[in-house]
A and B are shown apart, each in its own frame.
Chain A
Amino acid sequence: MTTWNKPLPTVSGETRPFWDACRRGQLLIQKCDRCGEFQFYPRGICANCWSEDIRWVTASGKGTVWTYTVTYQNRTPGFAEDVPYVLALVELEEGVRMFTNIVECPPRDVSIGMPVEVTFVQANNQISVPYFKPAG
């Protein structure tokens, strides 16, 4: 494993199940038992109906590129040496969008609406980061 030079997430009680699941290769989102809505990013309440009846569900890990940008300049270590890279918002099949990078694909081949699927890259023993690649 190479040295991880990019930012790492801070895990809290509110978000630990998400990061634990990433380590197992699963992408979790949340669903409200009162209103039935999915939500992302994870939080301790339902942002839609303000209930506390939320649970974690495993997403299919499939979605489409909602929008993206090919980044040519970023001074942050880990990204500065990675340009050009694709920053994207992916809309999951469940209807929520998440930030990600599109990997295993030349930037020029990325397009809005392109089907993608989740893939995990291990940053260290605790953290695996979810990315998306063209659907196989």
Chain B
Amino acid sequence: MPDLKRTAAIVGIHEHVTRYAPDKSELQIQGESVIKALEDAGLAKQDVDGLLTASSSSRNSGLALADYLNMYPSYVDNTTVGGGSFEFHLSHCLNAIAAGRMNCAVITYSSLARSGGVSVGTGGVGRFGHPRLEPSPDSFEELYGLTTVGLYAMIAQRHMHLYGTTSEQLAEIAVAVRHHASMNPEALFRNPITVEDVVNSRMISAPLHLPDCCVITDGGGAVVVASAEVVRNCRHTPVWVLGAGEAVAHQGAGKRDLQYIAARQSHGPAFEMAGVTHDDIDMAMIYDSFTITVLETLEDLGFCEKGEGGDFVSGGRLKVGGELPINTDGGGLSSNHPGMRGIFLLMEATRQLRHEFEGTPRQVPNCNIALCHGTGGALGTRHSGGTAILGRD
């Protein structure tokens, strides 16, 4: 494997702080974010020659976005594999920069999931009226009332059956992430919660309660990724892409063990490329569509053995000050989740690696290496997993 370390770095970020923006268009949120992310980097429009975005509609595809921004990139990537698309984008930026295909890219995303009334988790296929189902696989699935929550709940149910994992252990994840949200003034929910609060709340799809599920917000943002040469002209200390890996997982023609997720395949190449071990990871941004997503991801990334996730997430390990702080921005469970959330994982890891919160309780002490893992789609049907390992000099 060629050594791509210190080939590409995140040099600019901007999270659009809106959680509700009925008067804006998605393209507008992306445009505003791109401008501010470039400001953050100390770069300008003419420096950008790559454009990456994820979209479930052609409305804000890479093509529509290039039109809106009036730019002519030499590298366009519209990879859309669910919420974790942006970890794939970062991986592709590394490749394209290493190959000399581009020097500076923006990754951007926006969604009006909340003001648009998109019931992402519990809407089911027919929330806007019954659509014509695809002959397969939809016609073999949607007849039975699948919901996004349900497809994760089924994996949680079997995890509990096989390993004795409890609702209280899943709740520990929601509690730790809410604790972090309480330190983020932009987070949607900031009031601290307890394990009891979680397990006594409304059941959405057993065994997942309401606080086991991510919030639904509007939002968006942009991340600027630059070559080593461009990095020298930037304002902030670079956050290097040390390693990346990507994978998909599905039902395997009815036979794959769904208890194992894409992270199991994607993390190996990322760690190998980065030349680091699990002990080197100072903090992790773990896609938290649901608490079970975090538990499964930590296991399949290899932070603990399969089945030991329940113990691993308990006892404060996931909070700042613990052994493996995660989602220090409050995550999708408490801060924001506009349809897809993977781009925010890259932003918070960058803030932590820049030591942006130095002197406050949100800063992970001595944060030099961070891991981001995005999961998109649904664990019960088909999903993607992208791992990125980031580091500062």
When C-beta atoms are compared, the residue in chain B nearest to A40 turns out to be B254
Q: Are A67 and B158 in contact (CB under 8 A)?
A: yes
Q: Are A9 and B143 in contact (CB under 8 A)?
A: yes
When C-beta atoms are compared, the residue in chain B nearest to A16 turns out to be B135
When C-beta atoms are compared, the residue in chain B nearest to A108 turns out to be B206
Q: Are A10 and B132 in contact (CB under 8 A)?
A: yes
Residue from B146, B158, B208, B258 within 8 A of A87 (CB atoms) = B146
> What string of 1s and 0s marks CB contacts (under 8 Å) between B368-393 and chain A?
00000000000010000000000000
B117-125, B165-173, B217-225 - the one binding chain A? B117-125
Chain B residue contacts of A95, Cβ below 8 A = 254-255
Q: Are B126 and A76 in contact (CB under 8 A)?
A: yes
> In the complex, what distance in Å separates the CA atom of A9 from the CA atom of B79?
28
Q: Are A72 and B204 in contact (CB under 8 A)?
A: yes
Chain B binding site: helix, strand, loop or mixed by DSSP?
loop
CB contact list, A71-96 vs B, under 8 A = 71-79, 82, 85, 87-89, 95-96
Looking at the assembled complex, report how far the CB atom of A45 sits from the nearest CB atom of chain B, in whole angstroms: 10
Residue from A41, A66, A97 within 8 A of B136 (CB atoms) = A41
When C-beta atoms are compared, the residue in chain B nearest to A30 turns out to be B253
Chain B residue contacts of A73, Cβ below 8 A = 122, 147, 149, 204-205
When C-beta atoms are compared, the residue in chain B nearest to A67 turns out to be B158
> What string of 1s and 0s marks CB contacts (under 8 Å) between A85-114 and chain B?
101110000011111110000000000100
Given contacts A97-B251, A101-B144, contact A76 B124 (CB under 8 A): yes
Q: Are A71 and B205 in contact (CB under 8 A)?
A: yes
CB contact list, A14-49 vs B, under 8 A = 14-15, 37-43, 47-48
Chain A residue contacts of B131, Cβ below 8 A = 7
Given contacts A43-B136, A73-B205, A76-B127, contact A99 B141 (CB under 8 A): yes
Residue from B145, B206, B255 within 8 A of A96 (CB atoms) = B255
Chain A residue contacts of B147, Cβ below 8 A = 71, 73-74, 87
How many positions in chain B have a CB within 8 Å of any CB in the partner chain? 48
Q: Are B158 and A112 in contact (CB under 8 A)?
A: yes
Q: Are B205 and A8 in contact (CB under 8 A)?
A: no
Q: Are A14 and B135 in contact (CB under 8 A)?
A: yes
> What string of 1s and 0s marks CB contacts (under 8 Å) between B188-212 and chain A?
0000000000000011111110000
> In the complex, what distance in Å separates the CA atom of A77 from the CA atom of B129?
8
Q: Are B126 and A70 in contact (CB under 8 A)?
A: no
Chain A residue contacts of B130, Cβ below 8 A = 7-8, 76-78
CB contact list, B233-247 vs A, under 8 A = none
Among B129, B149, B150, B202: residue with most chain A CB under 10 A? B150
> In the complex, what distance in Å separates the CA atom of A11 from the CA atom of B138?
11
> In the complex, what distance in Å separates the CA atom of A4 from the CA atom of B153?
27
Q: Are A99 and B127 in contact (CB under 8 A)?
A: no
Q: Are A87 and B123 in contact (CB under 8 A)?
A: no
Q: Are B140 and A41 in contact (CB under 8 A)?
A: yes
Q: Are A70 and B146 in contact (CB under 8 A)?
A: no
How many positions in chain A have a CB within 8 Å of any CB in the partner chain? 46
Looking at the assembled complex, report how far the CB atom of B226 sits from the nearest CB atom of chain A, in whole angstroms: 41
Residue from A67, A77, A98 within 8 A of B155 (CB atoms) = A67
* Residue B100 is within 8 A (CB to CB) of chain A in the complex: no
Chain B residue contacts of A85, Cβ below 8 A = 145
Q: Are A96 and B254 in contact (CB under 8 A)?
A: yes
> In the complex, what distance in Å separates the CA atom of A35 from the CA atom of B324?
45
When C-beta atoms are compared, the residue in chain A nearest to B252 turns out to be A47
Q: Are A82 and B145 in contact (CB under 8 A)?
A: yes
Looking at the assembled complex, report how far the CB atom of B282 sits from the nearest CB atom of chain A, in whole angstroms: 35
Chain A residue contacts of B155, Cβ below 8 A = 67
Residue from B136, B144, B149, B380 within 8 A of A15 (CB atoms) = B136
> In the complex, what distance in Å separates the CA atom of A97 from the CA atom of B258?
11
Q: Are A8 and B157 in contact (CB under 8 A)?
A: no
Q: Are B145 and A70 in contact (CB under 8 A)?
A: no
Chain B residue contacts of A40, Cβ below 8 A = 140, 253-254
* Residue A126 is within 8 A (CB to CB) of chain B in the complex: no
Q: Are B206 and A100 in contact (CB under 8 A)?
A: no
Q: Are A48 and B253 in contact (CB under 8 A)?
A: yes
Looking at the assembled complex, report how far the CB atom of A39 sits from the nearest CB atom of chain B, in whole angstroms: 4
Given contacts A7-B126, A10-B135, contact A69 B153 (CB under 8 A): yes
* Residue B134 is within 8 A (CB to CB) of chain A in the complex: yes
Residue from B204, B251, B254 within 8 A of A38 (CB atoms) = B254
Name the 9 nearest CB pairs between A and B, nearest first: A76-B124, A96-B254, A9-B139, A12-B135, A76-B126, A40-B254, A69-B153, A39-B253, A67-B158
Using CB atoms and an 8 Å cutoff, list the residues of chain B in contact with chain A. 119, 122-127, 129-147, 149-150, 153-155, 157-158, 161, 202-208, 251-255, 258, 380
14 contacts between A and B (CB under 8 A): A8-B133, A9-B133, A10-B139, A11-B135, A14-B136, A40-B253, A41-B253, A41-B254, A66-B158, A67-B157, A73-B205, A75-B123, A96-B254, A98-B254
